[in-house]
Amino acid sequence: MNAIKPLKAQMAPKSDCTKIPLAVPQLGGNEWAYLKECLDTGWVSSVGPFVDRFERDFATYLGARHAVAVASGTAALHVALLAAGVQPDDEVPMPSFTFIAPANAVRYAGAWPVFVDAEAATWQMDVALLRDFLRDDCVRSDGALRNRKTGRRIGAILPVHVLGHPVDMEPLLALAQEFGLPVVEDAAESLGASYRGQPVGRAGQIAAFSFNGNKVMTTGGGGMIVTDDAALADRARYLSTTAKDDGTEGIHGSVGFNYRLTNLQAAMGCAQLEQLDGLLAAKRRIAARYAAGLAGLPGLSLMPEANWARNAFWLYSIRLDSNAASCTARELRQRLRERGIDTRSFWQPMHLSPAHAGAQTLGGDVAETLFDEVLSLPCSTDLGEAQQDAVIAAIRGELAP
């Protein structure tokens, strides 16, 4: 039998050459105290006082009626889509420029993503392209809106607020209303952002958040479903607790999922939520220092913040115009890496992803350009000014004329 090694020995060093990581969690609050409370009381699994408190506190933070804690942001999306009424073989328009999780969640629900290009100004889903699709390529028949080409029903719209910036929701909600479609928001990257003064994740029928290790706040892994609709919240809770009708008799009304968040994770969540305002303030401070330090470099544009938006600056990102800058984003990434500075390119557009090969796509050029040109910079909330100055100096060194 293998001896159990102490945890420290099993952990690999963060990285061999990276001195300034992209983003690491901040665990400076009540995490230890709350986790100890779980261990001392024996409440470690998927029910417990911290689960209830985390749901309550998170709903309050967003001004929402209901919050349902689940095992991941992906699980939150999966269940939110089902609760919103998405059926097998439906189609769900969503952005091409996004992390893959929402596209996967659409497939878990048995539905098909329709990828919509980004718009250049905000890097978010192009709502005008979505409008053209719904108006010109879809038709109402058998009481449903259907794609003319495939005959499939449109089940929902899935906007993803990427990298911390909101999607332009007013025209999107107008379309949802015009065509009677539910809106499921993926707010995983944009906790703390707001759209026209309203917190992101409050515009659609239901929204999903993530507490993965790289997100603004973390529970190690976890997610949350947020809605004002009691029936949707009940359905989401039911589906994420294996659709249990009667616990004592073991009766299940349908095929549900074991998606509940544990009390241990929720304890982390409560502690992180207490610090969220400080984490968000740090993200804004970092963004402002990058904006000041990187202004005026040829070919470099700063992370957008539309005049109707408050960016949460989850991952502070720049864009390098390959024609105007002295190197490409990928070359810059490599050169920064040699100096121990970790940066990332995001994401292979979904319409090019082998995982979703063959999916319908509306446009795609902008998403492809963003994939080539956007670079996320180190932005841990504890990033020191000296470290950030080193990143700025390194970028200036590469790009200044």
Ligand X SMILES: *Cc1c(COP(=O)(O)O)cnc(C)c1O
Which residues bind to ligand X, rule: CB under 6 A? 72-74, 98-99, 101-102, 160, 186, 188-189, 210, 212, 223
- Minimum gap (Å) between residue 312 Cβ and ligand X: 12
With respect to ligand X, which residue has the nearer C-beta, 74 or 345? 74
- Minimum gap (Å) between residue 77 Cβ and ligand X: 6
- Minimum gap (Å) between residue 355 Cβ and ligand X: 14
- Rounded Cα distance between 243 and 261, Å, is 15
Question: Could you identify the residue written with the tokens 């945890």?
Answer: 7
- Rounded Cα distance between 134 and 129, Å, is 9
With respect to ligand X, which residue has the nearer C-beta, 160 or 309? 160
- Minimum gap (Å) between residue 188 Cβ and ligand X: 4
With respect to ligand X, which residue has the nearer C-beta, 209 or 238? 209
With respect to ligand X, which residue has the nearer C-beta, 35 or 80? 80
Is residue 289 a contact partner of residue 391, using CB atoms and an 8 Å limit? no
Question: Could you identify the residue written with the tokens 């109402």?
Answer: 140
With respect to ligand X, which residue has the nearer C-beta, 90 or 185? 185
Is residue 155 a contact partner of residue 86, using CB atoms and an 8 Å limit? yes
Is residue 258 a contact partner of residue 282, using CB atoms and an 8 Å limit? no
- Minimum gap (Å) between residue 264 Cβ and ligand X: 16
Copy the structure tokens of residue 106.
């659409």
- Rounded Cα distance between 85 and 232, Å, is 9
With respect to ligand X, which residue has the nearer C-beta, 98 or 381? 98
- Minimum gap (Å) between residue 98 Cβ and ligand X: 5
| Per-position DSSP letters for 152-186, written without gaps between them | PBB--B--B-GGG----HHHHHHHHHHHT--BEEE
With respect to ligand X, which residue has the nearer C-beta, 166 or 223? 223
- Rounded Cα distance between 73 and 304, Å, is 25
Determine the residue with CB nearest ligand X: 73
Classified as helix, coil or strand, 208 is strand
Neighbouring CB atoms inside 10 A of 108's CB total 15
- Minimum gap (Å) between residue 163 Cβ and ligand X: 9
Is residue 43 a contact partner of residue 263, using CB atoms and an 8 Å limit? yes
- Rounded Cα distance between 309 and 315, Å, is 16
- Minimum gap (Å) between residue 356 Cβ and ligand X: 14
- Rounded Cα distance between 186 and 95, Å, is 11
Residues 6+ apart with CB under 8 A from 12: none
With respect to ligand X, which residue has the nearer C-beta, 84 or 138? 84
